[in-house]
Amino acid sequence: MSTRTTARTVTDVFQPRNVLLTGMLGIGLAAAGEWTGLLWGLLGALCAGIVPAGYIEWERKRGTWGDRHVVDRTKRAPIFFVILGSIGAGSLIMVLGRAPVGILVTMLALWAMTVLLLAVNTVWKISVDSAVASAVVAQLAVVHSPWWLLGYAMTVAVCWSRVALRFHTVAQTVAGASLGAATSAAFLLT
C-alpha cells in the first residue's frame, strides 16, 4: 500500500465524526455510570460530529466544496457555526433532560474548542481533525483511565495523515492537537 493510500485510509477512518461517535459513547457511559450514558453519548456524538458531517456532505453535493476536507480555510466558517449551533442545541437538550455533568462538561469543552478553532481559522489553517482526535483521547483518559493516553498513537497517526496528504503542515496539526488537549482540561475542573 502506498503512503498516500495509507494516509487516506487513516484520515477517513479517524475523521472527526467517527472519533466523536466512539469517544462520546465512552464518555457518556463513564459520566452516567450505567447504560443510559450511552444514549447521552450518542446525542453528543450526533450534535458534535454527525450533524456537522452531514452538513459538510450536503454542501459537498451542492458543489460548495470538493470533499469533506474543505482545504480552503476561508470557506470553513459556516461549518464552525453549524458545529456551534448543533453542540449548543444538544447541550440544551442535555440540560433539560438532566444529563450527567460529565457529558455536559464534554459538550462545553467541545464548544469552547470550536470557538477557538474558528478564531484561529480566521488567520491560519489549523487542523480540526487533529484537534478532535486529541480532545477525545484526553477526555477519555480523564473519565476512564490514564491508560487512554495510549490513544494518542491514533492522534499522531491523524496528524501524520493530514500532513502526508498535504492538507496541513506539521505546525497546523500540532497546534490542533494541542488545542484539543488544552480544551479538554475543563474535565479537571469538575
103-141 confidence digits (pLDDT tens): 999 999 999 999 999 999 999 999 999 999 999 999 999
Neighbours of 177 (CB within 10 A): 26
CB 55 within 8 A of CB 79: yes
* Interval 54-101: pLDDT, tens: 999 999 999 888 778 888 888 899 999 999 999 999 999 999 999 999
pTM: 0.94
SS (H, E, C) 93-146: HHHHCCCCHHHHHHHHHHHHHHHHHHHHHCCCCCCHHHHHHHHHHHHHHHHCCH
Domain locations in the chain as residue ranges: 3-189
